[in-house]
Amino acid sequence: MKIDSVKIENFRQYRDVKIDFSKDSNKNFTIIQGNNGTGKTTLLNALSWCLYGEEIHDYKDESSMNICNNKTAYTAKNGENFKVMVEIKFIDEDKPLIFNRTLHFHKTDDKLIKDAFGDEFQVGKMVENQLEFTENDYYTREQKIPEDIENYFFFDGARLSEYFQKDKKIRESVYNLSQLNLVENVDKHLEKVITKYSSKLKKIEPDLGKSVEDLTNAEIEIKNKEKLIEESKEIIEEAKWHIKDYTERLSKFDSIKKDINRDKQLEKDLNILNKELNDLNNNKKNLILKTYPYLLAYDTFTNFLDEGRKYVKNGYLPPDFKREFIEELLNNKKCLCGLDLSTHEENRNNLEIILKNTSPITDINDEINIALSKVKTILQEISKFKVSITEIEEKIKNKEKESSKKSEERESISNQLKDNPEKEITKYQYLKEKYSDSKDKHQRNIGRYESEIRILNDKIKTLKLKSSKEKSLKIEAEELNQKIIFSKKVIQAAHEVNTNLTKEMKNRVEDLTQDKFIKIQWKKDEFTDIRLNENYEIYIKNKLGDEERPGDLSDGEKLCLGLCFISALHSISGFNLPTIMDTPLGNLDKDMRHNIAKFLPEFVNGDQIILLVTGTEYTDDFRDTLYDYIGKEYVINWTGSEEGKESKVISNEL
């Protein structure tokens, strides 16, 4: 993939710049020359910002801090909208691939307001011969230029020696560059997949086989119930035969049975009649006992009543005065009218005459009246008794008559039943009932068994469904097991590939770094061997056989080694990207610079290279040595005024 051009609008000191890069494999170098502070690192950061939304390269000149070009911001009128935009156009398989990031601004009250939604990231790709832009297509970006490896293609030359620092995770980066991380991810993700399969398997396994066992048990149970139904049916048939037999036998006793029933009824009736007679006789006896004393005194009562009536008739009863009342008046010597009888002799005498003429009967007048009333009642009772006793006797007579009639009938029936067939009938009835009960019982049993069979059949239906599900579960379990086994084999292979390729990659980087370094370093016999440990830490063997760390080298040597190392990494990388180096020659002396210019085209082997260099770095010798490979050359012109700063990129005719 080659970088075709970069368009920059209002990004820091770049107001409106377009740079076309050389894509020719024979002239694969693009040189952008600019003095310190003119915007070389800003150019690098414009690319990082466009791709990843961040400016990851350090600024040497920290004065230009606003992302928005301050000249544009200054000259913009209030209410005006403008944007910061960087667009990188790549050519990927002869098709354009465009990354664009834009941030909108608005000026109001002399202040810059950033778009609240932040910047917009778009990727433009050819779709059916048409360029289509998609927002936030990070997928394409990560496929083409993953953020992890960006540092190895777009870098600050002055910081090359940092790759040798111990804390630099070079091993991880080499992994990402060489795409061995993909193999490692296969290993990691397949392990997770196995864990998922295993947990799925654990859930499935306990249920396997259970419904088959339940199904077999249910089927056996149904067979047992069916057998019991058959047995019950046989018993019912036998019972029916017996019931019929005893019914026939009993039918022969039908007439006798009537007599027996009649006899039983008569016996019951006679018992009732006897009881009723007994009750009537008791009533009669009680009535006589109760009334008898009055009957004996009947004449006395009659005479007493007659005499009493005579007294009443003759006016003795009731008497005129009560004697004791008159006696009391005389004793008190005071008349009822209040007259003092002690002084009124005549009145007193009159009272004494009245007393004299008053009958002694007046003293018992009340008792006589009560007695007369009682006697009258008794005599009424006696006359009622006569009626009652007549009624009872009549009833007794009727009941005795009825009893006698029924006794006669019973005696006649008893004579007929003297052979006593009842025992036989009872026996047959008992047996008939027994078989009838047995028949009913077994019919109930059949009903119960049939209902149980229905339930079992439903259960079987469910179990069959479950069983077929289990069957598929069994297949699933088998499949999971096989997948686990197969995945383990793939993991083992991935692991082996990873280990071997890691070793191989390391050896290749080691060899390539050594080859390149030996070629470009000027003290030809100074260093003999370069070694990388497993963390990609570099050790250099000098001519005396001692191992040195890059820290022991001069700045120029370190930079040179860094270039060789990066170049070696590119060789093993799965990515074919342009390399953009910012100020890579700063610390190199004339010879080293010459050597780099001489050997660099060979190192990069036609890959697209963009060098951001200072005037000091870009000497005539360097330019002349590299000249045949330079496709495009630019100079950054920086201008500063009150209104703000601006850098322009001017193309140089080659």
Partner 1 sequence: MQGINIDIIKYIRSRDYDEDVKKCLIESILIEYDKFACDFHHYTNDYDKILNKYIKVEE
Question: Residues in the site for partner 1, rule: CB under 8 A?
Answer: 1, 92-93, 138-139, 142-144, 178-180, 182-183, 185-186, 189-190, 192-193, 196, 471, 475, 478-479, 482-483, 486-487, 489-490, 493-494, 496-497, 500-501, 504, 572-577
Whole-angstrom distance, CA of residue 654 vs CA of residue 651? 9
Q: Which is nearer to partner 1, 189 or 444 (CB)?
A: 189
Alpha-carbon span 563 to 158, nearest angstrom: 11
When the beta carbons of 188 and 244 are compared against partner 1, the nearer one is 188
Cα(47)–Cα(8) distance, integer angstroms: 9
d(CA 495, CA 181): 11
> Is the Cβ–Cβ distance between 90 and 576 less than 8 Å?
no
Q: How far is the CB of 613 from partner 1 (least distance, A)?
A: 27
Beta-carbon-side half-sphere exposure of residue 427 (alpha carbons within 13 Å): 6
CB closer to partner 1, 124 vs 644: 124
Least distance to partner 1 from the beta carbon of 45, Å?
Answer: 23
Q: Which is nearer to partner 1, 272 or 490 (CB)?
A: 490
Q: Tell me the C-alpha to C-alpha distance, in Å, between residue 481 and each of 55, 97, 317.
A: 50, 45, 135
Cβ nearer to partner 1, comparing 372 with 609: 609
Query: Considering the complex, what minimum distance in angstroms separates the CB of residue 208 from partner 1?
Result: 14
Pairing of strands 130-135, 120-127: antiparallel
Cβ–Cβ < 8 Å for 294, 301: yes
Q: What's the N-to-C CA distance of the chain in angstroms?
A: 25
Closer to partner 1 by Cβ: residue 197 or 622: 197
Residue at token pair 């469910």: 462
Which residue number, 142 or 624, has a Cβ lying nearer to partner 1? 142
- The minimum distance between CB 444 and partner 1, in angstroms, equals 47
Least CB distance to partner 1 at residue 622 (A)? 30
> Minimum CB separation from partner 1 for residue 72, in Å?
35
CB of 469 to partner 1, least distance (A): 14
If the CB atoms of residues 142 and 237 are measured against partner 1, the closer one turns out to be 142
Beta strands in 163-232 (DSSP E): none
318 preceded by cis ω (within 30°)? yes
Q: Between 133 and 138, name the residue whose CB sits nearer to partner 1.
A: 138
Nearest approach in angstroms of CB 477 to partner 1 is: 9
81 vs 297: CA distance, rounded Å: 149
Find where tokens 């070696």 sit: 568
For the CB of residue 577, give the shortest distance to partner 1 in the complex, in Å: 7
* Residue 335 to residues 338, 347, 359, Cα–Cα distance (Å): 5, 8, 21
Spell 158-185 as b/e; 16+ CB within 10 A means b: bbbbebbeeeeebbebbbbbbbbbebbe
According to DSSP, the residues that pair with 152 across neighbouring strands are none
Closest CA to 567 of 163, 48, 47: 163
